[in-house]
């Protein structure tokens, strides 16, 4: 079972780039047939400039200026790419594409070799298991024949069992032949042979490193300054220096362009350095500083394995030929089975040994392919720098980025648990793999922590500053503090993503496009959001204020960016959208520290207004919570057609105890008016009726205090 995995930073960046690509294709398809024309000073049309999203071919990487060192730091590469023109950047991009493709081809060859090795290992183990099973069946059948008597049912059953064992031996022999033939075909593949040879060389270097470590441990048991100690130190230093030279030569090889003269020279230096390392390691082993049992069990012995397989194939051919020559048709089943068992004697053990040797070789191939993927990642990073510069100057890198996305996929064979473990360990130890991600993740976490700390500090500063500014509502202050805190954290998170290799350009483009779509889908909600901001900034009321909004007279419970909650005098909670609140009249009764008390009464037209004034002033001044300044007032008014006088009684008090003072004054007013004999006028009500018989209408004013009898012919 194969599991397709992708590096996190590439996946996230490319998912974002897909969205940008879709938007680009949609908009670009509309104007695909419209070339871009430039006009000269005379107003004439110039040659149309068309930039195609194609991969430029036939470019020699040696002619490019940015590919001279394939390990160039990214910041230096950005500086080199900055002055290049669009045409020059297209050449540079093609050169890096060539290098990336060559590396992908190399990786593919090794991956094929790994799969072939896995198949060869499985075939060898299956063949060994078949031989072992067939030999066990033959042993059981022979024992059954010896115990059974001829002519009995037991003898017949034993004979049948013997025939089955013989067939199993023939099948096992055939399976061994097929395994040997597959192994021969495998060895004849030049690409696989090259990958295997490279793995064998790398395994020799791994063995040399282990020998160096073991020799250093052995030297600790020697007396410092003795001849043996000095001789061991000399040999250890030679191997250590050889390994350092080899690493330097391999670095030069990584930075050279494939098939270039520099690459050929670096390859030769690597081979010479490997030879020196192996010779120095052999010298340590010969001096007894690295015992054989201390050498790694994973040493690859492919040559010995091949020789063993060739010997098995030769033995099988010879024994079969001899059996055919000597039989002359006179041999019985037992002799045939014995000869088959003789031919397969020891083959199962040999195949198991070959499988173990091939498994070690396969693990080294896995380690090699991980290193090649590390080199591919390094090339891809530098390729992207060139593509960024290309796009910044008007080029189209869509095809290149699509190719990068396609070849960045890594296939893990989960059935090959041993190889998977080697691959993961190698990736974790790789500078472009686990070590790189460990550093990036550490930076990511560090930036997030720093952003959180900065957000806390800024939010506290903003909170303290707004608290010292008069007239700022608590809701607005809390909102600004929240936006400051969360905004700082979001900015820090975006900066942290760059440490993981995520490009913010495509990400921000996707966010912008999504915001544009959401703005249409959530127009009402955005309107409520805007109205909520206006309420917080302009502060027409605050939590706890007594207001009249949307024809509701109530207290404000809470204000959010989407709605406002109020509580009426019956205890009901009413939720109003901010659009409704901001779009209507807003009356705030508790906005100031003082609030006016008011009573509107009606008295008969002949009532003494001065008496009412004296009574009201006496009542207002007698209450301890009614303010002296401004003092109580009275204002009479009347309409000629009402026959009564309206009187407005006004006073002022503190806003907090308004309703308790209002109730006290109302009770006092009722009591004092009764004592003073002041009667309130009963309001008259106009009633309009029509005389159906006369088809006419006339107004009629009825005094509600008197028993008014309507005519029989009047319909109300």
In 10 A of CB 117, how many CB atoms? 25
**pLDDT tens-digit profile of 684-702?**
555 555 554 444 444 444 4
Between 416 and 133, where is the model more confident? 133
Give Cα separations from 64 to 61, 73, 189, 430 (angstroms).
5, 17, 34, 28
Query: What confidence tier does 311 reach under pLDDT thresholds 50, 70, 90?
Result: low
How much is the average pLDDT of 292-313? 48
pLDDT at residue 575 in the model: 92
- State the average pLDDT for the chain: 75
Domains defined along the chain, listed by start: 2-35+48-119+358-432 (no CATH), 526-588 (2.30.30.60), 594-683 (3.30.70.100), 685-716 (no CATH)
Give Cα separations from 464 to 284, 460, 468, 496, 534 (angstroms).
73, 6, 6, 29, 22
What distance in Å separates the CA atoms of residue 328 and residue 372, rounded to the nearest whole number? Answer: 59
3-state secondary structure 253-272: HHHCCCCCHHHHHHHHHHHH
Task: Return all residues near 80 (Cβ < 8 A) that are at least 6 apart.
Answer: 65, 66, 72
Element (H, E) at 410: strand 410-413
Long-range interactions of 510-519: CB distance < 8 A, separation 24+: 510/16, 510/19, 510/20, 513/19, 513/23
3-state secondary structure 560-584: CCCEEEEEECCCCEEEEEHHHHHHC
**pLDDT tens-digit profile of 184-198?**
776 667 777 777 778
Q: Is the pLDDT confidence value at 459 over 50?
A: yes
**pLDDT tens-digit profile of 135-166?**
788 788 878 878 888 878 888 888 888 788 77
Q: Is the pLDDT confidence value at 703 over 60?
A: no
pLDDT at residue 422 in the model: 65
**pLDDT tens-digit profile of 49-71?**
333 445 655 667 777 888 888 88
pTM: 0.53
pLDDT at residue 454 in the model: 93
What distance in Å separates the CA atoms of residue 694 and residue 714, rounded to the nearest whole number? Answer: 10
DSSP 223-262: PTTSHHHHHHHHHHHHHHHHHHHHHHHHHHHHHSPTTSHH
Element (H, E) at 633: strand 633-638
């Amino acid at each position: 079972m194969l599991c397709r995995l992708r590096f996190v930073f590439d996946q996230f960046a490319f998912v974002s780039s897909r969205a940008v690509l879709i938007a680009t294709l949609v908009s670009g398809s509309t104007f695909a047939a419209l070339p871009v024309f430039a006009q000269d000073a005379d107003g004439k049309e110039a040659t149309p400039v068309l930039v195609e999203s194609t991969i430029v071919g036939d470019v020699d990487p040696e002619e490019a200026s940015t590919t001279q060192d394939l390990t160039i730091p990214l910041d230096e590469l950005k500086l080199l790419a900055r002055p290049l023109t669009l045409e020059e950047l297209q050449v540079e991009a093609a050169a890096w594409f060539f290098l990336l493709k060559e590396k992908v081809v190399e990786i593919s060859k090794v991956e094929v070799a790994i799969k072939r090795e896995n198949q060869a290992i499985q075939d060898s183990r299956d063949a060994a298991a078949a031989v072992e099973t067939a030999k066990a069946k033959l042993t059981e059948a022979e024992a059954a024949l010896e115990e059974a008597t001829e002519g009995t049912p037991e003898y017949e059953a034993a004979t049948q069992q013997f025939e089955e064992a013989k067939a199993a031996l023939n099948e096992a022999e055939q399976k061994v032949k097929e395994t040997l033939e597959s192994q021969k075909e495998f060895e004849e593949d030049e690409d696989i042979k090259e990958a295997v040879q490279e793995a064998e060389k790398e395994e020799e270097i791994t063995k040399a490193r282990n020998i160096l470590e073991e020799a250093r441990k052995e030297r600790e048991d020697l007396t410092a300054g003795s001849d043996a100690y000095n001789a061991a130190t000399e040999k250890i230093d030679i191997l250590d220096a050889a390994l350092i030279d080899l690493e330097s030569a391999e670095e030069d090889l990584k930075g050279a362009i494939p098939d270039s003269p520099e690459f050929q020279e670096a390859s030769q230096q690597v081979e010479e350095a490997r030879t020196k390392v192996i010779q120095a390691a052999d010298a340590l082993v010969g001096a007894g500083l690295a015992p054989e049992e201390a050498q790694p069990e994973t040493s690859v012995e492919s040559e010995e394995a091949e020789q063993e397989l060739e010997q098995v194939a030769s033995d099988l051919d010879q024994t079969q030929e001899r059996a055919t020559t000597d039989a002359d048709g006179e041999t019985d089943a037992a002799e045939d089975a014995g000869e088959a068992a003789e031919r397969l004697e020891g083959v199962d053990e040999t195949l198991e040994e070959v499988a173990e040797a091939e498994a070690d070789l396969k693990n080294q191939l896995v380690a090699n392919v991980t290193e090649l993927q590390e080199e591919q990642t390094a090339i891809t990073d530098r390729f992207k720098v060139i593509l960024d510069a290309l796009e910044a100057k008007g080029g189209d890198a869509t095809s290149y980025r699509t190719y990068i996305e396609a070849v960045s996929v890594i296939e893990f064979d989960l059935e090959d648990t041993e190889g998977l473990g080697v691959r993961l360990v190698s990736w974790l130890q790789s500078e472009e793999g686990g070590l790189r991600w460990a550093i990036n993740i550490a930076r990511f976490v560090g930036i997030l922590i720093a952003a959180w700390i900065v957000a806390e500090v800024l939010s506290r500063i903003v909170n303290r500053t707004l608290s010292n500014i008069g007239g700022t509502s608590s809701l607005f202050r809390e909102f600004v503090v929240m936006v400051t805190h969360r905004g700082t954290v979001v900015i820090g998170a975006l900066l942290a993503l760059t440490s993981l290799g995520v490009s913010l350009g495509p990400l921000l483009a996707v966010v912008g496009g999504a915001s544009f779509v959401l703005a249409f889908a959530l127009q009402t909600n955005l309107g409520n959001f805007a109205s909520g901001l206006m309420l917080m900034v302009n502060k027409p009321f605050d939590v706890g204020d007594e207001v009249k909004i949307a024809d509701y007279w109530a207290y404000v419970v809470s204000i959010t960016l989407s709605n406002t909650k109020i509580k009426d005098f019956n205890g009901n909670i009413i939720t109003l959208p901010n659009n409704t609140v901001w779009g209507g009249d807003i009356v705030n009764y508790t906005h100031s520290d003082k609030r006016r008390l008011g009573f509107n009464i009606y008295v008969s037209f002949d009532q003494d207004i001065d008496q009412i004034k004296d009574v009201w002033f006496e009542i207002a001044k007698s209450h301890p919570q009614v303010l002296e300044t401004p003092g109580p007032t009275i204002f009479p008014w009347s309409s000629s057609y009402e026959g009564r006088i309206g009187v407005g009684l006004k006073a002022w008090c503190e806003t907090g105890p308004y309703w308790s003072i209002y109730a006290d004054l109302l009770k006092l007013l009722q009591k004092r008016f009764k004592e003073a004999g002041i009667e309130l006028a009963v309001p008259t009500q106009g009633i309009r009726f029509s005389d159906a018989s006369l088809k006419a209408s006339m107004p009629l004013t009825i005094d509600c205090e008197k028993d008014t009898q309507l005519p029989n012919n009047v319909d109300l």
